Structure formats: C-alpha cells, structure tokens
C-alpha cells in the first residue's frame, strides 16, 4: 500500500512540474494616475490615451505591456502587466532589475514623460506590484506658439511700432554685451 501511495505522489509531482513548466511567469504590474500638463486624466477623458512599456531600446515586450482600455473608473488609474523574461516560456519578456520605458501617447502623438523622468522604471520581480504615477507634458499648440512668439516680439520692440529697426538692434547688443542686464530694463 505504501508503495502505491509513493508511486501516486511521484506521478502527481511529475504532472504538477510539467504543468507548471508550461505556464509563463506572473507579470510585474504597474498602476497609477496620469496627469498631462498638470491636469489629471480621468476615466471621462482617457479615451485618446495609449500607454506602452518597452525595453530601454524602445522595443515592445511580448506579450505587449500596454494599457489600451482606459483608466479603471473606480480608482482613476491605469494598469499594465509587464511580462517577465523566461528563456523557454517568455523570451521577449522584461528582465527584473533592468530599465523599462513608459511611453504615453495621446491621439497618436507621443507625450514627454517627466515623472518618472523619461518614463524610466526598474522592472520588478514576477508577481510584484508598483504604484507609478505618471506626469506628462504636451508640446505647445500652434496657437500657444504664436502667442509666445508675439509676447517675445513685444518684449524686444523698443518703441512698440511692430518693426525691428536700429533702436531694437542697439537694445539687443546692449543686452548681449552686458551693458543692459536684461531686455525688460
């Protein structure tokens, strides 16, 4: 009887090891909030955002580490599962301890990730979780650029005539040479 029990336990152990060997490692999960230009993204405004985590060379992991379905309404957070590298089961996964990059896109345009700086994170171990709140900036809009250029032009226009002339050139040379501390004085 003892011999049969040992054989059964041995067979169950082999079957369990064979089954475990076919499953990929559990992912490293990151979640958190997103803000753009200082304003939080909410589940009401998240439909144009895509978050993708890549390796340091910007090559996507496989399976993909991304959030395409928007923020979780109850927490207003994104959720991304980063696959963990395993030579046989997940060769295109992330290696724990290495740097990965969070890329944020809005309407197909890439945003500048300022927190974590450059989108850089350190990949954790299988089954670990990390809260990573993301802050991003967009580039200036065309209207914003025009307004900024117009404001700068007004600063340099010495006599407010909307023309660059001798008076503006003299003023600029004074600033550059240090005679005048800055253009506003």
Domains of the chain: 22-137 (2.60.40.10), 142-177 (no CATH)
Q: For the segment 128-151, what is each residue's pLDDT rounded down to a tens digit? A: 999 999 999 987 655 555 666 677
Q: Is 178 left (phi over 0), alpha (psi -120 to 50) or beta?
A: left
Residue 17, token pair as written in the block:
């090891």
The pLDDT of residue 67 is 93
Question: Mean pLDDT in the chain?
Answer: 83
The pLDDT of residue 5 is 57
Q: What does pTM read for this prediction?
A: 0.65
13-40 average pLDDT score: 78
**Distance of alpha carbon 158 from alpha carbon 173, whole angstroms:** 13
**Distance of alpha carbon 168 from alpha carbon 183, whole angstroms:** 10
The pLDDT of residue 102 is 97
Q: Which of 43-47, 49-53, 71-75, 152-156 has the lowest mean pLDDT?
A: 152-156
Residue 15, token pair as written in the block:
């079957």
In the chain, the percentage of residues whose pLDDT exceeds 90 is 49
**Burial (CB count <10 Å: 0-12, 13-18, 19+), residue 79:** middle
């Amino acid at each position: 009887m003892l011999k049969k029990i040992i054989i059964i336990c041995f067979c169950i152990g082999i079957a369990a090891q064979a089954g475990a060997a076919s499953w990929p490692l559990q992912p490293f999960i990151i979640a958190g909030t997103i803000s753009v230009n200082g304003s939080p993204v909410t589940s009401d405004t998240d439909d144009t955002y895509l978050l993708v985590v890549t390796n340091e060379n910007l090559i996507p992991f496989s399976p993909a580490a991304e959030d395409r379905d928007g923020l979780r309404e109850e927490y207003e957070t994104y959720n991304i599962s980063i696959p963990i590298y395993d030579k046989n089961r997940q060769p295109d996964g992330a290696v724990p301890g290495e740097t990965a990059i969070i890329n944020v896109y809005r309407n197909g345009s890439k945003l500048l990730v300022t927190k974590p700086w450059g989108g850089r994170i350190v990949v954790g171990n299988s089954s670990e979780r990390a809260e990573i709140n993301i802050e991003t900036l967009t580039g200036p809009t065309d209207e914003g650029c025009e307004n900024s250029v117009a404001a700068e032009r007004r600063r340099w226009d010495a006599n407010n005539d909307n023309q660059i002339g001798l008076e503006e050139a003299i003023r600029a040379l004074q600033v550059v040479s240090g005679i005048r501390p800055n253009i506003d004085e």
